[in-house]
A and B are shown apart, each in its own frame.
Chain A
Amino acid sequence: MDVSRPGKGRLRIAVTGASGDYGRLLLSRLDQDPDVESILVLDVVRPEGDKVEFHRVDLTRYDAESELTDALTERPVDALYHLAFLFGPIRNGSLAHELEVIGTMNVLTAAGRSRLPRLVVPSLTAVYGARGNNPAMLREDSALQGCPHSRFVTDKVEVEGQVRAFRERHPDMRVLVLRFAPVLGPSVDNPATRFLKNPVVPTLMGFDPLWQGLHEEDAARALHLALRADASGEFNIVGRGVMPISGLIQQAGARPLPLPGPLFRAGLHTLDAVGAGTLPVALLDYIHYSWVADGERAESALGFIPLHHVKDAAAALKRS
């Protein structure tokens, strides 16, 4: 089942959600990969690229599954990157749920029917949840406690559950789940970058949890490595080192403003209720307790060694 075995022709890769941040990062790498023959993009918009074969699929539609199956079986692909995920909570929670959970369900069904050799799904280290009872380093087998206040994270946890069940049903397939630490970089946009890009960043007074960050280049590299890795399962993809949130804020060129917890909470809830909230309320948990994931498995099994320190990733945010 190894796609990179010798004698095999050049690779044909399918990608959903190619216009998102992950898709953009990955496509530029695949474009330069000489082993990649063509990229089948299953998305609603056509991305740039010489190798791109575009096939319009809307994952939120009821017929998405059959379209996907057709597209994948018409000409077999060597790997499917399912990257059609949101990068932060959106106001329309039900649409997000349709896209992430139902969309993933469709993709998994199509992947099972077309007997794909390899499936790569991105996730977040946020699915572990920021809890007081987290160990210093969360390994891949730690419980996914998620964040009960956040539909976004809950959806991600649900997606992870689906993918795990799928992997257990299809032991002959390589199913890789990459749990990314907050991706930081000049060209990505997610709650973490939005949070850090403010000139003054509110934090919880008396708490300074450790954060990890992943430079966007490292994220792209990890996605690319997943194409050939002889491994299956979940991997924490994290940058080098950890930093307290205040240090991260300072590195990003902003100033931390410690606010007493109740005040901060009330303010954030008010903003959210008014509709002006730029910061998700769930972020409160993540700036309260540490959620440091251990990238050891990605290093040993995936061969992913981050090049960038969190510090550099945060500083890259400042330069943009």
Chain B
Amino acid sequence: MAKGVLGNDPFKRGAASRPTEASTPGGEEKAAAAESVTKKKPGPGGTASAKAGGKAAAAKSRKHEGKKTSGKAKGGKAVEGKKGAAAAARPPAQASGTRPPAPQADRTEAADAALSPREPTPSQQARAPLVPQTSAHDADDAVLPLREPAASTPLTLDSQAPGPVNDAGAPTSKQRDVDLALAEALAADVAEATATAVVDAALGAEAGPDAEVERLMATEFATELAEAAVEEALERGAHAQSLEQEQELAAAVAAQVADSAARAAIDKVRARHATPDAPAVTRWERETSVRVVLTEEADTSAVEPEVELPDATRDEFPPGRRGPLSLVPPPATNAGESSYRESFPPESGRGEPEGIRPLAERAVAALSLARDIAGQALASESLARAMLAMGGLKDMLRAGLGTGGGANLDEYGKDPSLVERLEPVLEFLYSQYWRVSVQGVDHVPPGAAILVANHSGALPYDGLVMSMALTRERPDLREPRWLVEDQVFHAPMVGTLFNRLGAVRACPENALRLLDEHRPLVVFPEGYQALSKPFGERYRLKRFGRGGFVKLALRTGAPIVPVAIVGAEETSPLLGRIPASFLGLPYVPLTPLGPLPLPAKWSIRFGEPIGVEDLAPEAADDLGEVQRLTERTREAIQSMLQSLLRERRSVFAG
């Protein structure tokens, strides 16, 4: 992807990389940083600098992508890259003379500036044409106060390698130096921006006398580590790397290392608060070491900063950690703490003069290990799903309590967003817990239809399951609704919750309106009696009300589809009734698991529709006709129930 972007018009690159940034929702700060890098360039450098900016941005965005796909093979290694890059050597840019060390405050400012999109100042623009194309060093000196080494150096490259495509042949040693310097300088910028962003994010909320110092120290430290790591990475992979590859690699490494190192630094600073006698940051900085292994591959996107560390826990870093704004909220300290641990391998045997230190350290180590384990567990897919489900259940509880809110309810009270959030739970119930099997769903005609089903179980899950079955098996139909008798509909919590999930109070007005909207309408004519019958009478149909659904069908011409549901009775068998008139309920059903259902297997069978086209709407007033149709429907359902029950071998296994 980076290749394709880079291969085009240099002016377009900065812009071309933005969609990628936009597509990485996690890294807002970093995207901003990358963008600012892009924006800073046009001043001194003209086309070539635009290119460099584009590259930086591209490298950035690729890094984000790396984060996104972190669950894959690269994941663990890249994280190691971060923490392992704790090499303490001085920034490489210095050695090549491109970038003398700036004071701390300056650096932070510059990094801050890099975070906020900024137009080039007039002086920069004025200076731009004066920069001699041949001398990279001069150019660097010229823009040094503005810290834009990466912007100027590409000029030389442009003269050497006209296109971004590597057709310049083997680079000379001088070119190599320049390339390296360029890549490192770019990486330094990236590292600073990242470090500042991370530090600001982590320390932003904290205020105190030392906050500013801490911030500076943490940023400085992270940047240095990152630069060291970049240098190492570049040296190792020096041969056969093109400039773009190097730059991308450098930027990627720098950003990752700075990210993790900044976290580490923050931890460090905090730890120092806890134990005032702890060594200065510089101390453990020296003790860390890095080994960068570059895989030799043609495609730059495959370059992985692979850092090996003497740490057994390296595989425990879940990929979700790498993004500061990832789905699983990262415990902000993991990588840092492990490098912290690494730096003092034998914790007990260190022989610190202070007695409190080993204890605190051990505690910190244990804590971080626990966090790592928890983090890994959280990052695994099934647990993420479980977390989502928990979130949905929490929303469900809130909705039931009556504090759910919601602004997108339809006039019947269904909350589509709640249903969406509960989808993991519903999906689990439907396909794994109850393993609903559906037969003959093709019998449901399009448009308005009255689905008449047997009501069963102490808790009326059947309406919900019917609507789920219809939405899953027949997506061509409009969204179905089910009618619920008053006793359930107006029960506290249960009624509210069912209403949000799509239940509608059973009354002719509502039914007519729903059929008018050409929806399949699920009705349970037995009503409340069916719910309150003891378990011993399961699957024996009660009286079908007063035939309201038949009148409805006759008036609207909607066909009646008999439906038999098996499994609902065993899902929540009624063992007893607890009187609860004070709650506004006739009773509270006593079921084995309380409100939770049992994992009985469900089977739903849709029968042949019973058409009423040949009957006039006036037949609704003919009680005999209504009675006849009611009985016909009832018999159809009862016979389907019998056959389903005969076919069923086991209640729970099906």
Contacts and interface: CB of A to CB of B under 8 A. Distances in A.
Interface in A224-282: 241-247, 249-251, 256, 258, 261-262
B402 A246 contact: yes
Given A136-B504, A261-B584, A246 B413 contact: no
A203 interface: yes
Interface string B472-489: 000000000000001001
Contacts of A207: 402, 492, 495-496
A289 B499 CA distance: 12
A133 interface: yes
B493 to A, nearest CB: 4
A217 interface: no
B409 interface: yes
Given A206-B402, A244-B409, A136 B513 contact: yes
A250 B405 CA distance: 7
B74 interface: no
Contact of A132 (B409, B486, B493, B500): B486
A243 B493 contact: no
Nearest to B405: A247
Interface string B501-517: 00011010110010000
B505 A135 contact: yes
A242 B489 CA distance: 18
B593 interface: no
Interface residues of B, number: 31
A19 interface: no
B200 to A, nearest CB: 30
A205 B582 CA distance: 14
Tier of interface size on chain A: 20 to 34
A130 B489 CA distance: 14
A210 B411 contact: yes
Nearest to A292: B411
Interface string B111-147: 0000000000000000000000000000000000000
Interface string B76-93: 000000000000000000
A206 B400 contact: yes
B406 to A, nearest CB: 5
Q: Is the interface of B mostly helix, strand, loop or mixed?
A: loop
Interface string B396-411: 0001111111110111
Given A132-B486, A136-B505, A137-B509, A204 B402 contact: yes
A135 B510 contact: yes
B402 A258 contact: yes
Contacts of B490: 132, 289
Max chain A C-beta neighbours (<10 A), residue from B403, B409, B486, B505? B403
Contacts of B402: 203-208, 244-246, 256, 258
A289 B413 CA distance: 12
B428 interface: no
A246 B510 contact: no
A136 B510 contact: yes
Interface string A109-141: 000000000000000000000001101110100
A203 B409 CA distance: 19
A141 to B, nearest CB: 10
A290 interface: yes
Max chain B C-beta neighbours (<10 A), residue from A133, A207, A309? A207
Given A136-B510, A290-B413, A246 B404 contact: yes
A78 B153 CA distance: 83
Nearest to A212: B411
Nearest to B582: A262
A82 interface: no
A311 interface: yes
A242 B411 CA distance: 6
A135 B406 contact: no
A244 B505 contact: no
B486 A208 contact: no
Max chain A C-beta neighbours (<10 A), residue from B405, B407, B584? B407
Contact of B496 (A208, A242, A311): A208
Given A132-B490, A242-B411, A290-B413, A205 B401 contact: yes
Contacts of B492: 204-207, 261
Given A136-B412, A137-B509, A292-B411, A206 B406 contact: no
A311 B409 CA distance: 11
Interface in B409-446: 409-413
B405 A246 contact: yes
Nearest to B494: A206
A247 B493 contact: no
A208 B407 CA distance: 13
Contacts of A246: 402-406
A255 to B, nearest CB: 8
A136 B514 CA distance: 10
Ranked nearest first, the 3 interchain pairs of A and B with the lowest CB-CB distance are A206-B492, A135-B509, A247-B405
17 contacts: A133-B505, A136-B504, A136-B510, A203-B403, A204-B492, A205-B402, A205-B492, A206-B492, A208-B500, A244-B404, A247-B409, A256-B405, A258-B401, A258-B403, A289-B490, A290-B413, A309-B407
Given A205-B493, A247-B406, 16 more contacts: A203-B403, A206-B400, A206-B493, A208-B402, A208-B500, A242-B409, A242-B411, A243-B406, A243-B407, A244-B402, A244-B409, A247-B404, A249-B405, A251-B407, A258-B402, A261-B492
